[in-house]
Every structure is written in structure tokens, then in C-alpha cells.
Amino acid sequence: MLVRREQPADVDAVRAVTAAAFDGAAHSAPPVEPGGEPGEATLLSWLRDDAGWIPALSLVAVEDDAVVGHVVATRARVDDRPALGLGPLSVLPHRQRTGIGSALVHAVLGAADALDEPLVALLGDPAYYGRFGFAPAHTVGVVAPDPAWGDHFQVRTLSRYDGRPGRFRYAEPFDRL
């Protein structure tokens, strides 16, 4: 398996992987259109068209010349300071629990740190993301967009994190879901 930056030719495959990964998942965003793909697939399209899209932080996992996984981190804010929002993270259902998701998360965190980003936030399972150094956001003074998210809203501080607290805000397309 190779983790690399997404290329223009990967866009359709990435959408298909994202739709398959979230199809029927209990934690999936509802389809934007009745009977449509999971909301995460639509979100990905919206993010691509947003100023918060960072091409260097859209990564794919490739096996045998086929995209089997994808992760993206987009521009977010903690108050007026830059931060990143991670997600969606997608792996084809038949390849889940084989280390692809972990490889993608490690790669995007490393790339974000190399780009001098200070912090990455996400909404996800603490048991899964804790292994990558994510912790409940409130433990470092970052306030979730929705307080009901509790410990599922997590942050991973990076080398440039300055320790200042504030309210987190995802890229605008997240607000449409």
C-alpha cells in the first residue's frame, strides 16, 4: 500500500470510497438528497469547492493501482487562528480494520505538522483516535462547535501549537450538514 497526495484523476474514486465507507454506517451524516449518497460524500465535494481545501492534505491509500482509502484535513479556525479539521476519513468496507485508516491518519498528521499547522480537530470515536494522540478538545481549552459532542470532539496538538484556548470552527461546508 502507498499513501500519497490525491491527484485529479483520483476524484471519482475518492468519492466512491467515501460513499461506500459511510453507506449505512450508524454515525454517518444523512444524505443531502433523499435516497442519495451519505452526507460525507457530498461534504467532500463541497469542501473541494471551498477556500478551506488544502490539496497537500488530501491523501489517498492505493493498492494495486486502486484507491482504497482517503483522508482530508481542511482549513478551520480556533477563534481567529488557523487550525485544521480532519475528515472525512474513508476506507473501502472490505479493507477496513487492516491498517489503512491508521496509515492515512499518521500520514495526514505528519503532513500537517510539516506544514507548520498547530492543531487538528475531529469529531469521532475517542477509542479509535486516542491512539493517534487525539484528546477531548476541552482538555486543551478548545471549545467544540456543538457542546453536545462532548469527548467525541477531539484535538491533536502539533509542534506549532501555542496553547491558547478558543472556539473551534470547521470550514463552512461542514455547517451545511
Three-state SS letters, 98-149: CCHHHHHHHHHHHHHHHCCCCEEEEECCHHHHHHHCCEEHHHHCEECCCHHH
Residue 71 scores a pLDDT above 90: yes
Mean pLDDT of 51-65: 98
Per the structure block, which three cell numbers stand in for 156? Answer: 491533536
pLDDT digits (tens, 9 = 90+) for 78-109: 999 999 999 999 999 999 999 999 999 999 99
DSSP the chain: -EEEE--GGGHHHHHHHHHHHHTT-TTPPPPSSTT-S-HHHHHHHHHHTSTT--GGGEEEEEETTEEEEEEEEEEEEETTEEEEEEEEEEE-GGGTTSSHHHHHHHHHHHHHHHTT--EEEEES-HHHHGGGT-EEGGGGTEEPSSGGGGGGEEEEE-TT-----EEEE--GGGGG-
pLDDT (average), residues 25-37: 75
- What is the value of pTM for the model shown? 0.95
* pLDDT, tens digit (0-9, with 9 covering 90-100), for 102-154: 999 999 999 999 999 999 999 999 999 999 999 999 999 999 999 999 999 99
Share of the chain above pLDDT 70, in %: 98
Write the CATH number of the domain with boundaries 2-176.
3.40.630.30
Taking all residues of the chain, what is their mean pLDDT, rounded to a whole number? 95
Per-domain boundaries in the chain: 2-176
